[in-house]
Structure 1
Amino acid sequence: MTRNNNPFEQVSGQARLARPILLVGIGIATAVSAVIVAKLELLGVIFCLGVVGLAFYLNLIFKNPRLGVLSVLVMGFLATGLSRYVQLPWGLCVDGLIALTYLALFFKGFETKLKWRNAKSGLTLVTVLWMVYVLFQLINPEAVSLEAWFYAMRGLAMYQWLLIPLAFLLFNKPRDLKIFFWIWGILSVLGTLKGFQQFFLGVDPWEQNWLNQGGAETHVLFSKLRIFSFYSDAGQFGASQGHTAVVFGILALFNRHNHRLRMFFVAVALAGLVGMVISGTRGALAVPAIGGIVFLILRKNLPILILGGLLGVGVYIFFAHTNIGQGNAEIRRMRTAFDPNEASLQVRLDNQKKLSGYLASRPFGGGVGSAGNWGQRFTPHTFLANTATDSWYVMIWAETGAVGLSIYLIIILSILVKGAYHVMAKIKDPWLNTQITALVCGMAGIMAASYGNGVFGQFPTGILMYLGMVFMFLAPKWEKQYRNTLKKQLY
Structure 2
Amino acid sequence: MNYLNNQLNDLVKYRLSTPLGILILVCVSFFVGYLCLTINWGIGLAIAIAVVAIPFLLSLFVRIKLSIYFFIGLSIFIGIPFKLNLPFPIGLSFDFGILLTILGHLYKCGEEKDFKTTFDVPLLTPLLLWVVWNIFQIANPFASSRVAWFYVMRPYVLYPILYFITYYYFRTISDIKSLLFFLLCSCFFSAFWGDIQNVFGYFPFEMEWVYANDAKHLVYISGRWRVFGTLSSPAHFGMLVAIVIVISAVISTSYNWGRKIVLFIGICICLPALIWSGTRSGIAILVIAGALVVLTWGNVKIYIVGGIIGFLFFLLVITPSNNYHIQRIQSTFAGSKDTSYNEREENRKAIYPWVWKHPLGGGIGSTGVWGAKFSPGTMLANFAPDSGHIRILVEEGPLGLIFYLSIYVSFILYSLKYSKIWLLKDNELKVTFLTLFASLASFLVVEQVQDVNGILPFSIIIWIFLALMMRTLQLIRDYHKGNYDAKKKKENDELLDHIKMKEIKRANYEKRFKL
TM-score (norm 2): 0.81
Q: Distance in 1 between matches of 2:138 and 2:339?
A: 37
Partner of 2:419: 423
Aligned counterpart for 2:383 among listed residues 379, 382, 387: 387
The answer to whether the Cα contact below 8 Å between 2:194 and 2:228 also exists between their aligned partners in 1 is: yes
Name the amino acid aligned to 2:93: C
Amino acid in the other structure paired with 2:412 = L
2:408 corresponds to which of 412, 416, 420: 412
Instruction: Read off the aligned partner of 2:354 and give its amino acid letter.
Output: Y
Equivalence for 1:293: 291
| Percent of paired sites with the same residue | 25
Deviation for aligned residue 1:180: 1.1
Q: Which residue of 2 aligns with 1:7?
A: none
2:230 alignment partner in structure 1: 230
- Post-superposition shift, 1:264? 2.3
Could you report, residue by residue, the CA deviation over 1:266-313 in whole angstroms, capped at 9, with x for unpaired residues?
Answer: 233333333221110112221121112222331234564465356435
Q: 1:116 to 1:33 in 2, by over 3 A?
A: farther
Aligned twin of 2:259: 261
SS in 2 for 1:360: helix
Aligned AA (2:331): T
Structure 2 counterpart of 1:361, from 353, 357, 365: 357
Q: Is residue 459 of structure 1 aligned with residue 456 of structure 2?
A: yes
Residues 167-176 or 40-49, more deviating = 40-49
Amino acid at match of 1:77: I
Specify the alignment match of 1:163 in structure 2.
162
1-structure distance, mates of 2:494, 2:273 = 31
The residue number in structure 1 matching 2:340 is 344
**Structure 1 residue aligned with 2:326, among 326, 331, 335?**
331
How far did residue 143 of structure 1 move? 0.6
- The structural deviation recorded for 1:422 is 3.8
Task: Select which of 422, 435, 439 maps to 1:438.
Answer: 435
Output the CA distance in 2 between the equivalents of 1:81 and 1:380: 29
Is this contact kept in 1: 2:198–2:227, CA < 8 A?
yes
Letter in 2 for 1:484: K
Amino acid at match of 1:143: A
3-state SS of 1:131 partner: helix
Shift of 1:405: 1.3
Asked whether the equivalents of residues 248 and 269 of structure 1 are also in contact (C-alpha less than 8 Å), the reply is yes
How far apart are 1:54 and its partner, in Å?
4.0
Residue 76 of structure 1 contacts residue 463 of structure 1 at CA under 8 Å; is this kept in 2? Answer: yes
Equivalent position amino acid for 2:391 in 1: M
* 8 A contact 1:130–1:408 mirrored in 2: yes
C-alpha distance in 2 between matches for 1:31 and 1:226: 43
Q: Which moved more, 1:230-239 or 1:394-403?
A: 394-403
Deviation at residue 51 of structure 1 after TM alignment: 5.1
Aligned to 2:177: 178
The DSSP-based 3-state class of the residue aligned with 1:232 is coil
**Equivalences for residues 36-115 of structure 1 within 5 A:** 50=49, 52-54=51-53, 56-58=55-57, 60-87=59-86, 88-109=88-109
2:429 and 2:211 mapped to 1: Cα distance? Answer: 47
What is the CA-CA distance between 1:351 and the residue it aligns to?
Answer: 0.3
Moved more, 99-108 or 282-291: 99-108
Matched residue count:
468
Bigger shift: residues 220-229 or 52-61: 52-61
Letter in 1 for 2:145: S
Alignment-derived partner of residue 279 in structure 2? 281
Amino acid of the structure 2 residue aligned with 1:377: K
CA spacing shift, 1:60–1:150, aligned 2, 3 Å = closer
Amino acid at match of 1:150: F
Which residue of 1 is the match for residue 499 of structure 2? none
C-alpha distance in 1, partners of 2:25/2:248? 48
Deviation at 1:42, TM superposition (A): 7.0
Name which of structure 1's ranges 473-482 and 29-38 shifts more when overlaid on structure 2: 29-38
8 Å CA contact 1:423–1:437 kept in 2: the answer is no
Residue equivalent to 1:378: 374
CA contact (8 A) 1:198 1:227 kept: yes
Q: Which amino acid aligns with 1:235?
A: A
Q: Which SS does the other structure have where 1:390 is aligned?
A: coil
- Measured in 1, the distance between the counterparts of 2:187 and 2:107 equals 34
- Pairwise CA distance, 1:114: 5.5
Secondary structure of 1:484's match? Answer: helix
| TM-score where L is the length of structure 1 | 0.84
- Once the two structures are overlaid, the 10-residue window that deviates more, 40-49 or 434-443, is 40-49
Match of 2:466 in 1: 469
- Counterpart mapping for 1:301-340 below 5 A: 301=299, 304-305=302-303, 308-309=306-307, 311-319=309-317, 321-323=318-320, 326-339=321-334, 340=336
In the alignment, structure 1 segments of 5+ residues that lack a partner are: 1-10, 18-22
Please state how far the C-alpha of 1:113 moved relative to its aligned partner: 5.3
Counterpart in the other structure of 1:195:
194
